[in-house]
Structure 1
Amino acid sequence: MENVPVTRQNSDEIDKFLDGAASFADMMFGFMDEKSNDFDEKNLEDSVGGDDEDDAQVEQRRVFWETHEQLLQATLFRTTTLESRIRQATKEALSELGAVGVQCVCRRQVAVDCRRCLQRELSVRLQTAGFNCYICKSKWRSSPEIPSGEYSYLEVLDKSNPKKGDVRVVIELNFRAEFEMARASEDYNKLIARLPELFVGKAERLKALIKILCVAAKKCMKEKKMHLAPWRKHKYMQAKWLGTYERTSAAPLPVGYSDRLQKPKASLLTFDLKENSPAMHYSAVEVVR
């Protein structure tokens, strides 16, 4: 399917499409919730070994996954000019960071691919490119349905159209990985493979995608005769990007800060010995904080 550029004039049509996608996913949730009432431990035991399906069941499963794949692709590819601009700027910034590297300031023992520092550097570069980019941290409490948790991601607020108000565009650097499941079916894995690793899209688009993918995850686990993990449920996934969150603006590192961090740290216990007795070989003790 081609990625057709969309102008501001017909962006309203995209919003209507996203509302329709969300409504369809809501309908599917209702249907599957009704069916799931009969799926208890007894049914799970009785179904073991009953892998035979009639032609009608095979056809229903095929239609379900084909429909979801089409809906997923349509939701992903109907992008607006604003989303395309932010996506391109994000890719360019990531490319630059990949070339120069990201200086971790968290002082962790393992600082390779530090998500927090990558988000900070990326946010600063997008601000420099003219976007109102922020780091968002969501946090939610536990409930009978899902455990508590917290999550961080980026967002851009576009204020260019006063009539529509602030338009929120979410940036997720590991979008595909957030929906991968270790014991998923072939149909589900095929659907997830359609997702981009870098997601840049309006909150409405993300909301529609979460519903589509959570319906698919629930269907997958039911076909596998397994229970859906609490952290895979719709309410949990929605809380990550669409729940209550705090927004902060990233600031660039002070000049020379990264250079100071790169200096090796040695213990003072061996410093004088090495200075006064060059013939003696003592290894410096690394300070781990």
Structure 2
Amino acid sequence: MDLNFRAQFVIARPTQRFLKVLATVPDVFIRGAEELKHTISTTCDTVRRCFRSRGLLVPPWRKNRFMQNKWLGPCRRTVRDTSMGFNGGVSCRVVGFDNVVSEAGSGSSSGVVVRTR
């Protein structure tokens, strides 16, 4: 189910043929995956023809493969890592560089050195 489905296909400077195809696309899409695949394929083909007739390149986010992956791509969900000591509060995991602050011995005017590995 997708609300405002038709708005995903609206383009600037459409041709009359594209406007006719866009009128057939439902505003709220509540159908199966096969019907979604067919609708996306038909609409993206018309978008491609519209862009080509105007002498424009088709942007990647208007291509069939991108649109198919947008709605039919694999769902990637992440699981919260409970091994880091999550106890009902906010769990933060260190990602990236470790900041190590150490006291500088001799020769430093500020007395603190920050080292990243």
TM-score by length of 1: 0.26
**Contact 1:173–1:197 (CA under 8 A) maintained in structure 2:** yes
Cα offset, 1:190, TM superposition = 2.0
Matched, 1:203 2:33: yes
Distance in 2 (alpha carbons) for counterparts of 1:235 and 1:246: 18
Q: Distance in 2 between matches of 1:216 and 1:230?
A: 15
Contact 1:230–1:236 (Cα < 8 Å) also in 2: yes
Distance, in Å, in 2 between the alignment partners of 1:246 and 1:172 is: 19
In the other structure, the counterpart of 2:17 is 187
Matched ranges for 1:99-110 at <5 A: none
Partner residue of 1:214? 44
* Counterpart check, 1:178 vs 2:8: yes
Q: Distance in 1 between matches of 2:66 and 2:13?
A: 19
Counterpart of 2:105 in structure 1 is none
Residues 225-264 of structure 1 correspond to what in structure 2 (within 5 A)?
225-246=55-76
| Cα-Cα RMSD | 1.3
Structure exhibiting the larger radius of gyration computed from Cα positions: 2
Identity of aligned residues (%): 39
TM-score (norm. length: structure 2):
0.61
1:110 match = none
Q: Distance in 1 between matches of 2:24 and 2:40?
A: 14
Cα shift readout 1:105-133 (whole Å, capped 9, x = no counterpart): xxxxxxxxxxxxxxxxxxxxxxxxxxxxx
Q: What secondary structure is seen at the aligned counterpart in 2 of 1:183?
A: coil
Distance across 2 between alignment mates of 1:226 and 1:196: 26
Q: Find the aligned partners of 2:27 and 2:8 in 1 and give their Cα distance.
A: 9
Unaligned runs of 5+ in 2: 78-117
Which aligned runs of 4 or more in structure 1 are off by greater than 4 angstroms? none
Structure 1 gap segments, 5+ residues each: 1-170, 248-289
* 1:211-249 Cα shifts (integer Å, max 9, x gaps): 1111111111111111111110011101111111147xx
Greater relative CO, 1 or 2 (CA 8 Å, sep 6+): 1
The answer to whether the 8 A contact 1:180-1:189 is kept is no
Matches within 5 A, 1:158-177: 171-177=1-7
CA contact 1:210–1:237 (8 Å) conserved in 2: yes
Indicate the structure with greater helix content.
1
Do 1:184 and 1:220's aligned partners in 2 also have CA atoms closer than 8 Å? Answer: yes
The 5-angstrom pairing of residues 1-289 of structure 1 reads 171-246=1-76
Question: In structure 2, what is the Cα distance between the partners aligned to 1:219 and 1:191?
Answer: 12
8 Å contact kept, 2:25–2:39: no
SS in 2 for 1:201: coil
